[in-house]
Structure 1
Amino acid sequence: MRLDKFLAESSIGTRKNVRTYIKEGAVKVNGQVITEPAIEINENIDFIEYLDKVVDYRGKVYYMFHKPAGCITATKDEVNKTVLDFFHEDNMNGIFHVGRLDKDTEGLLLLTNDGEFEHHLMCPGKHVEKKYFFVALGSLNEEGIKRLESGISIGEDGVLTKPAKIEIAKHGSYKEFEEEMDIRKFYNMESNCYNQLVVSGYLTISEGRKHQVKRMLKAVGCYVVYLKRVSIGSLMLDESLEKGQYRMLKEEEIQKLLGNL
């Protein structure tokens, strides 16, 4: 195994960061300072030190996290609570999020120290689908649905989005939604506007432009007030996880995401 890969998978830092540490002479292999990140080591036999402390090989890790609204998808921030602030592991160095969710968006977020895993899921050429549940002010007719499904301009040089899938769950008034799902948790409207139309459903996309789901729905006249990612590829959010909770992915789940099953 390459030395930089070993250190990244041992949560010393990202692959990029550990290359810097190695080149700065902060890493020893069997007592000898090594400055070449690509050197091959045996993780089962060789004695690796970083800043004169023995490095225990952690290996690749994969977490499913139920992101709540109100925290940002980042590893650290001086102002806002981050997704990593919910983790209770002793060492989260080198762990990063796979893609992003907006601060006010809830749902499925994956975290790992495996760069190849992230690339497989986030590379545009892989076309891995991400499915979102939304609640939006407005309504969706057949024309709007067709535009979403065939590709729509969201203001980026006129480039259309890739074809999407949409499933309408419910059309109704704000008052109806308030009675059935307490929409006030997401958006509180004056009582004299309770006849405002609201639509809920699922939108599945295979790319990851900034605020894409919100912008796609806005392009057909819908203002998103609640958004939750419910799946990535074959992996569904484990609804037994409360918001802010996480668990390790099962080996079968990992292999399905990688297309090996």
Structure 2
Amino acid sequence: MTRTHRLFQLMQTLRTVPPPATAAALADALGVTPRTVYRDIDTLRGLGAVIDGAAGFGYTLIEDAALPPLSFDAEELEALVLGLREVQQVGDPALAEAAGAALSKMRARLPPGQAHRLQHAVLSAHRYAPMPEPGIDVRVLRQAAWDERTVRFDYCDVEGRATTRNVDPLSIVYMQASHCLLAWCHLRRAFRAFRLDRMDGLEVLETSFRPRRVPLLRECLAEMGSCPPSAPSRTASV
């Protein structure tokens, strides 16, 4: 780990751990010695970060010079907190972790009054029925969609039939009971929705479908929206 990367990781850890964070806890999180943490804290202070505390007492990030100033009104703060906490509840593991990190970054950069309001927001989100765990690494799937690369995976449908699919990934939809991939399926030659918890063995192929993702997604959503509620959609989960 380079020193620059270590300093970045130390700032991120200070944003996310409950304050005050002891040097021992920070050292354990970063895989370094407490003496290194003391030196890095001094370096961050020299770069403009306002970090309260001292050796033996723990450290609290008061003002984060790495982040731009933020200002929201009360309703905007509640909306942001609700949205990010909903992502923590329904997102895949990587997105849930990212939502928590985003909340921590906001709290570190907001004025004290707004930071207090964010931490103790009236609105929240909670789901008692956990979402099914994805069978694949969703970060890899998201990146393949951004890169407009065809992917291959093994799939088990609602009837228990196993197939291998090559698809062009268009969008991941976080539905009420499951996470689904909207895609153009090469096998069926049609749009399909695939539940992520029924996917396995994800592989990103060299085949590119750039620049067709956005128009294909529009067509897929239009097809879904034009289907009467009582009629089976061609985009239904398989």
Q: Check whether TM > 0.5.
A: no
TM-score (norm 1): 0.25
TM-score (norm 2): 0.27
More helix by proportion, 1 or 2? 2
Q: Tell me: higher relative CO, structure 1 or 2? Use CA pairs within 8 A at least 6 residues apart.
A: 1
